[in-house]
């Protein structure tokens, strides 16, 4: 037992290294995990006391455990077998494909990242860029929602700032789990977004196995009561108008819904802006047959540095108003009692109509609409026209800065003149010929309110099979 054994130094270091790894794996790492888990539980317990809708245990589950639960779900297992048979590949290959989809979809929510960083960043960025206003707000309806129900915020999609604004304004209610598209799967953005609780979706995928994995994740999250947020239009509006809804995610929520179980309550949310950050990019994409978004990182960085320089030199001005309205909640259980058959299309129609009815009317969209409808106008003409809108559309949610019709007209005109979209000739404002598309883009955001027969609640027939939000 006391015999001396000589070893090369490299071998001794290797043995010690493996011993250290084993000690960490068996002793230290579990203890560290337990320590941080206890801290997380205490943080979540404090957060849940002030949130209207507490963070659900499902959202706090370890990502690895959630992935395993998803890929071994009976319906996913059946989809794996069907996919293997259809593609002529071994089930092990199809299973690996399903595992890859699950790892891509499942988030890794961090309460400390969401409430410690994301909310503060969202609040700072929103107020740095815009004068944020809360428009119509059915507080009584929101208070009446069953505490055990799953809440889904359903909103129109004008800008990528939508995520930031709604996260900020819903901070006192709950942590939102967003469905985000392929644009967010870029490192290091993907890790941050996943930590915020968002889950990735391939909006245009027709792969049945992928769609089943996604459908089961949405179903599991819904059954567990996770508060979600989704864009029924399926993507950013390229025209500025409210678009017909896609049915993918809505169908996943409706399928297998049990009226006797946990209710699902949809809260319509409508957003509008005096200036959409990506407006020119979206208009260019609308005219591109391939719908490519020309938003190179160099362009984004250049514009960001320009705004920073303006701020440093005291010449920075915010981009006008950004307003959000929260509408009357819609219970899926109540709708089930009223409608027979598949609820997806009736639900989509009601939601898009509710969203459209509460879209805020801001100075720039109103001025843009009036310039298109009436042509060149003096400031006095614009002020009178503002008044006619207030009289003719009493149910519209119009935001008037300082509660002044005249100042609202001034704000809208000034914003568009500074961007060289309008020009002043004599005492009349004219649309610059090469900026007509931008004027139309902003006017389109309230067109459905001005034209009562606008088909904002139409659902395209081919949307029934769409796998997207």
Task: Give the separation between CA 281 and CA 394, rounded to whole angstroms.
Answer: 34
Classify strands 428-431 and 422-425 as parallel, antiparallel or unpaired.
antiparallel
Q: Residue with structure tokens 């984004």?
A: 300
Task: Give the separation between CA 172 and CA 119, rounded to whole angstroms.
Answer: 10
Q: Are residues 127 and 146 in the same domain?
A: yes
User: Does residue 423 belong to any structural domain of this protein?
Assistant: yes
Q: Are residues 259 and 136 in the same domain?
A: yes
**Secondary structure class of 324 (helix, strand, coil):** strand
Cβ-proximal residues to 298 (8 Å cutoff; 6+ apart), any chain = none
Q: Are residues 396 and 335 in the same domain?
A: no
Q: Are residues 255 and 371 in the same domain?
A: no
User: Does residue 184 belong to any structural domain of this protein?
Assistant: yes
Task: Write the CATH number for 377.
Answer: 1.10.10.10
Task: Write the CATH number for 203.
Answer: 3.40.1130.10
Quote the distance between the C-alpha of residue 137 and its chain's center: 19
Q: Are residues 350 and 401 in the same domain?
A: no
User: Does residue 58 belong to any structural domain of this protein?
Assistant: no
User: Does residue 313 belong to any structural domain of this protein?
Assistant: no
User: Does residue 459 belong to any structural domain of this protein?
Assistant: no
Task: Give the separation between CA 217 and CA 222, rounded to whole angstroms.
Answer: 8
Q: Are residues 430 and 381 in the same domain?
A: yes
Where in the sequence is the domain holding 346, given as residue range(s)?
104-277+319-358
Q: Are residues 384 and 257 in the same domain?
A: no
Count Cβ neighbours within 10 Å for each residue of 180-200 and write b for 16 or more, e otherwise.
bbeebeeeeeeebbbbbbbbb
Classify strands 330-331 and 264-273 as parallel, antiparallel or unpaired.
antiparallel
Q: Are residues 132 and 109 in the same domain?
A: yes
Q: Are residues 334 and 405 in the same domain?
A: no
Q: Are residues 271 and 326 in the same domain?
A: yes
Label residue 397 left, alpha or beta by phi (over 0 means left) and psi (-120 to 50 means alpha): beta
Diameter over CA atoms, the chain: 105
Rg for the chain, CA atoms, rounded: 26
Domain count, the chain: 2
Cβ-proximal residues to 163 (8 Å cutoff; 6+ apart), any chain = 178, 180
User: Does residue 77 belong to any structural domain of this protein?
Assistant: no
Q: Are residues 243 and 133 in the same domain?
A: yes
User: Does residue 126 belong to any structural domain of this protein?
Assistant: yes
**Secondary structure class of 406 (helix, strand, coil):** helix
Q: Are residues 248 and 354 in the same domain?
A: yes
The whole-number mean pLDDT for each consecutive block of 10 residues of the chain, a chain of 469 residues, reads 67 68 53 51 58 69 86 94 93 94 86 76 87 82 87 91 85 77 59 73 84 92 89 89 90 89 93 92 79 52 58 69 92 91 91 93 94 92 88 81 87 93 92 94 92 46 39
């Amino acid at each position: 037992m006391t015999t001396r054994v000589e070893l090369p130094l490299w071998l001794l270091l290797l043995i010690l290294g493996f011993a250290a790894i084993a000690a960490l794996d068996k002793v230290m790492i579990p203890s560290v995990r337990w320590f941080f888990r206890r801290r997380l539980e205490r943080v979540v317990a404090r957060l849940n006391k002030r949130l209207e809708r507490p963070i659900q245990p499902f959202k706090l589950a370890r990502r690895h455990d959630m992935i395993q639960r998803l890929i071994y779900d009976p319906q996913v297992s059946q989809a794996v077998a069907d996919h293997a048979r259809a593609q002529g590949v071994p089930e092990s290959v199809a299973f690996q494909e399903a595992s890859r989809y699950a790892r891509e979809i499942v988030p890794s929510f961090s309460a400390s990242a969401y409430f410690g960083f994301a909310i503060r960043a969202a609040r700072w960025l929103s107020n740095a860029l815009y004068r944020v206003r809360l428009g119509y707000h059915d507080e009584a309806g929101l208070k009446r929602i069953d505490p055990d129900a799953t809440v889904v915020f359903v909103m129109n999609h004008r800008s990528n700032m939508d995520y930031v604004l709604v996260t900020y304004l819903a901070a006192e209610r709950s942590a939102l789990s967003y469905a985000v598209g392929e644009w967010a799967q870029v490192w290091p953005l993907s890790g941050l977004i996943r930590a915020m609780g968002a889950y990735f979706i391939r909006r245009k995928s027709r792969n049945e196995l992928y769609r089943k994995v996604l459908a089961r994740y949405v179903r599991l999250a819904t059954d567990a009561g996770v508060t979600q947020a989704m864009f029924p239009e399926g993507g950013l509006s390229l025209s500025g108008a409210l678009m017909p809804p896609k049915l993918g995610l809505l169908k996943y929520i409706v399928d297998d819904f049990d009226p006797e179980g946990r209710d699902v309550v949809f809260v319509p949310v409508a957003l509008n802006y005096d200036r959409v950050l990506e407006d020119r990019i979206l208009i260019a994409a609308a005219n591109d047959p391939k719908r490519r978004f020309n938003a190179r990182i160099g362009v984004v960085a250049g514009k960001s540095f320009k705004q920073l320089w303006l701020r440093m030199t005291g010449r920075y001005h915010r981009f006008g108003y950004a307003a959000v309205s929260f509408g009357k909640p819609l219970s899926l259980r109540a709708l089930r009692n009223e409608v027979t058959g598949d609820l997806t299309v009736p639900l989509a129609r009601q939601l898009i109509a509710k969203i459209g009815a509460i879209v805020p009317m801001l100075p720039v969209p109103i001025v843009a609409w009036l310039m298109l409808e009436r042509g060149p106008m003096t400031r006095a003409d614009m002020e009178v026209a503002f008044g006619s809108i207030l009289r003719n559309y009493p149910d519209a949610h119009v935001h008037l800065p300082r509660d002044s019709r005249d100042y609202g007209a001034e704000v809208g005109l000034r914003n568009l003149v500074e961007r060289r979209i309008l020009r002043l000739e004599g005492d009349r404002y004219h649309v610059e010929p090469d900026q007509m598309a931008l004027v139309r883009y902003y006017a389109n955001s309230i067109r459905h309110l001005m034209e009562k027969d606008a088909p904002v609640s139409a659902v395209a027939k081919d949307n029934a099979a769409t796998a997207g939000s």
